[in-house]
Amino acid sequence: MSLPLSGKRALVTGASRGIGAAIARRLAADGADVAITYEKSADKAESLAAELRALGRKAVAVQADAGSTEGANAAVDGAVAGLGGIDILVNNAGVARMGDFAEQPLEDIDALLNVNVRGVLLTTQAALKHIPDGGRIITIGSNVGQRVPFGGLTVYSASKSALESFNRGLARELGPRAITVNMVRPGPIDTDMNPADGPLAPAVLPSVAVGRYGRGEEVAAAVAFLASPDAGFITGDGILVDGGANA
């Protein structure tokens, strides 16, 4: 029996660890060849690429700064060189900086907007030169892009909210080519950036209906579905994976 993504080529940005690595593993398990990008974690990225190749897939790791024009072009060029093209783009690279907006350093604001917004736009624009009709674009947003549960998230939530409008607008533009454009919106996911036993957990957990942090594999499952042929009539929206935090 053929796998749902057999013959597809996926680029997953920011995938050396955490949610991105889980997505790369799931897409490869479903049959896709996968290119991943990293900024600094070369050893982890190369180890993951080797793991994916052991499954019988093509896999490459590309060093790229997620917030720059050069990084966006390097990511796409590396994926095309390594895989022969791109059918699925997963905009996963992102940063989280929290704090009272009145005192938030410009450095943090610039990082949030450059990586979470500008980088997504630039990478998508570069990838569109290669994505064929019927392709998939999936962006990792956040449940706080739709609802802000407590203070300290103002700029981060604004950066994720901006992607909501981008997602809807691009879906309109690419619909005639049968390229679907969707978001996966994680809530609290147990990663090294936001561990389930970390300092934010006491504030976060009371709002989560299922009473626990999610796993990267649960986010990856939503991405895999949206990348699959079964999701061809879903575009301009996506899936909330937050354990009921926004219910």
Domain that holds residue 158: 9-239
Its pTM stands at 0.96
pLDDT at 1 over 80: no
**pLDDT of the residue at 87:** 98
Choosing from 28, 123, 156, 194, which is the catalytic residue?
156
With beta carbons less than 8 A apart as the criterion, state whether 96 and 194 touch: yes
In this prediction, residue 188 has a pLDDT band, given cuts at 50, 70 and 90, of: very high
Please report whether residue 246 resides in a domain.
no
Q: Which helix (H) or strand (E) holds 44?
A: helix 42-53
Q: Which among 188, 191, 238 has a CA at the least distance from the CA of 210?
A: 188
Please report whether residue 181 resides in a domain.
yes
Please report whether residue 245 resides in a domain.
no
Q: Is 38 a catalytic residue?
A: no
- pLDDT, averaged across the chain: 96
Please report whether residue 50 resides in a domain.
yes
pLDDT at 227 over 90: yes
Number of domains forming the structure of the chain:
1
